Amino acid sequence: MELVFVGLGLNDDKGITVKGLEETRTADAIFMETYTSRMPDFSMPRFEQATGRKVQLIKRQDLEEDNGKVILQAAKAGKAVFLVPGDPFIATTHVTLRIDAEKAGIKTRVVHGISIMSAIVSLSGLHNYKFGKTVTVPFADNFSETPYNVIAQNKKLGLHTLCLLDLRAAENRYLTINEGLKLLLEVEAKKNLGIITAATPALGLARAGGDNPVLKADFVEKLVNYDFGQPPFSLIIPGDMHFMEVDALIAFAGAPAEFKRLSR
């Protein structure tokens, strides 16, 4: 009776750790969800060949409506592995399943994977300890002012904001960086607090974890029209920046020289 949550990393079937691979190879049942994040280069046939095991795909309703019943039943009968993009409990919400497993007397363990939270720091050069609360920017048909308010709160403290952009994998819909910025600008037009303006510095990231991620920093008026290619996407609104952070954005993300005046 054991349920092991295994992080897959960010881009493909090669992002899983050696430990995660070993746990998968020795499981009695293996499940995977693909609705919380897109892994552009993940190959199920290649992964199943590497593990020598068949993987059962899990839909959102299997967890949210059926409370993960199929996974818990498998864990009660032996060792079940649940594969999750990124790190199992960083940018996704599977805590309820783990709590239910523990309540049912099922031992749980976590094998961590690369998360967007760490990848954005590694790629951009922004300082990890200067990130404030993370927020998700939803699609326009479900939009709220919460992302704008979170960015405002973080900025007041001089902190950076990682904005995760909404997705609906079943519909093959992914909110783009451009759309996310436009939605935030619409809130700015109503509130007029100077939080997200044409002159606000921002950083967009596409396909983190892949061989050729796209990382671009610029002022919003330029970034809102930048072509980042295919998803997944993330958006960062910097707070107060150290001169080394500015130098990193210029070197790694093609930020304009005007960013020099932003350092504090």
Q: How many C-beta atoms lie closer than 10 Å to residue 237's C-beta?
A: 27
Please, is 189 exposed, middle or buried when counting C-beta atoms within 10 Å of its C-beta (0-12, 13-18, 19+)? exposed
Residues 112-149 have pLDDT tens digits of: 999 988 899 999 999 999 999 999 999 999 889 999 99
Rounded to whole angstroms, the Cα distance separating 66 from 60 reads 9
CATH of 116-262, one of 3.50.30.40, 3.60.10.10, 3.40.1370.10, 3.30.950.10: 3.30.950.10
In the chain, where does the domain assigned CATH 3.40.1010.10 lie? 2-111
pTM of the full predicted structure? 0.89
Q: Does domain 2-111 correspond to CATH entry 3.40.1010.10?
A: yes
Q: How many C-beta atoms lie closer than 10 Å to residue 145's C-beta?
A: 14
In the chain, where does the domain assigned CATH 3.30.950.10 lie? 116-262
Q: For residue 92, what pLDDT is reported?
A: 61
Residues 218-246 have pLDDT tens digits of: 999 999 999 999 999 999 999 999 999 99
Tens-level pLDDT at each residue, the chain (264 residues):
999 999 999 989 999 999 999 999 999 999 999 888 888 899 999 999 999 999 999 988 888 888 889 999 999 999 999 999 999 987 566 899 999 999 999 999 999 999 988 899 999 999 999 999 999 999 999 889 999 999 999 999 999 999 999 988 888 899 999 999 999 999 999 999 999 999 999 999 999 988 899 999 999 999 999 999 999 999 999 999 999 999 999 999 999 999 999 987
How many Å separate Cα 241 from the centre of its chain? 23
- The mean pLDDT value of the chain amounts to 93
